[in-house]
Amino acid sequence: MPVVGMAGGGQLARMTQQAAIGLGVSLRVLTGAADDSAAKVVSGVQVGDDRARDDLTAFAEGCDVVTFDHEHVPGPHIRELEAAGKACRPGSAALAHAQDKLVMRDRLGKLGVPCPAYAHVPPSEPLEFLDGFAREHGWPVVLKATRGGYDGKGVWLVEDLDGAGGDLVRRLLGEGVDLMAEQYVPFRRELAALVARSPYGQGAAYPVVETVQEGGICTEVISPAPGLPGDLAAEAQRLALSIAGELGVVGLLAVELFETDEGLLVNELAMRPHNSGHWTIEGARTSQFEQHLRAVLDLPLGSTEPTARYTVMANVLGGDDPDVYSRYFHVMAHDPGVKVHMYGKEPRPGRKIGHVTALGDDLADVRERARHAADHLRWGPERKESK
């Protein structure tokens, strides 16, 4: 049986372990601490720095395939593994587009994929440049770190350059953050198209979902995106499959999209299991975690058929009281059909520590069930607004 090594030990690796157990495949993780989310549930843990060349090389030695639960492993280290003949999936050439938003935008532009207008912010005269960008595309301007962002981190909305906006730009550039500007898109809502691609070239697309974000953090995913016209859903799937093919992605590719009055625009790419795909554990015949393993192992891909009319996933964020387990009782008694997934992470306020999933025929009911469970796990009986 093959050994799959995953760099990173977060919840994505943790849930991949559930799929690996089913397939009989050995999963190993390289992670910073023995009590990281995945490290708690995997027997083959190497504690180390997955951004350090030597740790990564030592880890890869025992693995048939190396894959990633985040985008932060340096490209040069991956290229070195590839040069030594190690299968890295996705490969460094594809992964570069998920690691650097400017590389991604330039490439998608060349492919004719619809994206918001964007430009690199030159570290010399940045304010003058942004002023010109805003004159062309309007205020506000979206400012993004080209590398290293996640969950709303590394993205800022700049309203103007007087006062706070100008200070922010100067501070970030002073800290050495490489910045790009993007047109602010007045979208109707956010969608995500999740596809898988194998080295053999097989592709598989999941139903297109709606993602609901609060403060830059995904709080809810609805599958399929309610009321999405069939031609737009098909276009989103085609876009994602075509990007996966053109970039040579192996494994999962999540394409975050804006639905606007003028059609779809690509916002972000991720090449790994993705928060917008957690619903697939119960809601699709093949979970995204099993699918990622099948893809990186070059096994035939699994069916993406939904198992229910609607599936809603709600993220559980940490609240004020860290004793989440005491709140299982109400949640499970209240709704025997809701599925609770906890990640073994310290429940700090606002941190993603788990998710819940509900399925059914009545969308309003399914959303309310997922929302209630997630809110209760966060806050307990004194329900507050999720902020």
Q: Which of 300, 346, 383, 384 binds its own copies (CB under 8 A)?
A: 300
Binding mask 270-299 for its own copies (x = CB under 8 A): -----------x---xx-------x----x
End-to-end CA distance of the chain: 45
Do strands 263-270 and 251-260 pair parallel, antiparallel, or not at all (unpaired)?
Answer: antiparallel
Q: Residue 312, interface with its own copies (CB under 8 A)?
A: no
Tally helices (H) and strands (E) across the chain.
12, 18
184 is in an annotated binding site: yes
Binding mask 155-184 for its own copies (x = CB under 8 A): ------------------------------
256 is in an annotated binding site: no
Q: How far is the CB of 341 from its own copies (least distance, A)?
A: 5
Binding mask 31-50 for its own copies (x = CB under 8 A): --------xxxxx-x-----
Q: Which of 124, 176, 227, 329 binds its own copies (CB under 8 A)?
A: 329
CA neighbor of 150 nearest in space, from 340, 8, 282: 8
Structure tokens at 345: 């992470």
101 is in an annotated binding site: yes
In the range 188-207, which residues lie near its own copies by CB under 8 A? 204
382 is in an annotated binding site: no
Whichever of 17 and 99 has its CB closer to its own copies, that residue is: 17
Q: Which of 63, 301, 313, 374 binds its own copies (CB under 8 A)?
A: 301
* DSSP calls for 109-159: HHHT-----EEE--SSSHHHHHHHHHHHH-SSEEEEESBS-BTTBTEEEE-
61 is in an annotated binding site: no
Q: What distance in Å separates the CA atoms of residue 65 and residue 294, rounded to the nearest whole number?
A: 11
Q: Residue 107, interface with its own copies (CB under 8 A)?
A: no
237 close to 191: Cβ distance less than 8 angstroms: no
Q: Residue 15, interface with its own copies (CB under 8 A)?
A: yes
Q: Residue 332, interface with its own copies (CB under 8 A)?
A: yes
Q: How far is the CB of 79 from its own copies (least distance, A)?
A: 29
354 close to 377: Cβ distance less than 8 angstroms: yes
222 close to 358: Cβ distance less than 8 angstroms: no
Q: What distance in Å separates the CA atoms of residue 271 and residue 90, rounded to the nearest whole number?
A: 7
Q: Which of 139, 187, 328, 379 binds its own copies (CB under 8 A)?
A: 328
Name the H helices within the chain. 11-23, 53-61, 75-83, 92-99, 101-111, 126-137, 164-174, 230-247, 280-283, 288-296, 328-334, 363-379
What number of CA atoms fall less than 13 Å from residue 342's CA on the CB side? Answer: 16
Q: Which amino acid is at 146?
A: T
Q: Residue 3, interface with its own copies (CB under 8 A)?
A: no
Query: Where is the binding site for ATP, in residues?
Result: 101, 144, 182-185, 190, 267-268
Residues making contact with its own copies (CB under 8 A): 1-2, 14-15, 17-18, 20-24, 26, 39-43, 45, 204, 281, 285-286, 294, 299-303, 305, 307-308, 324-325, 328-329, 332-333, 336-337, 339-344, 354, 359
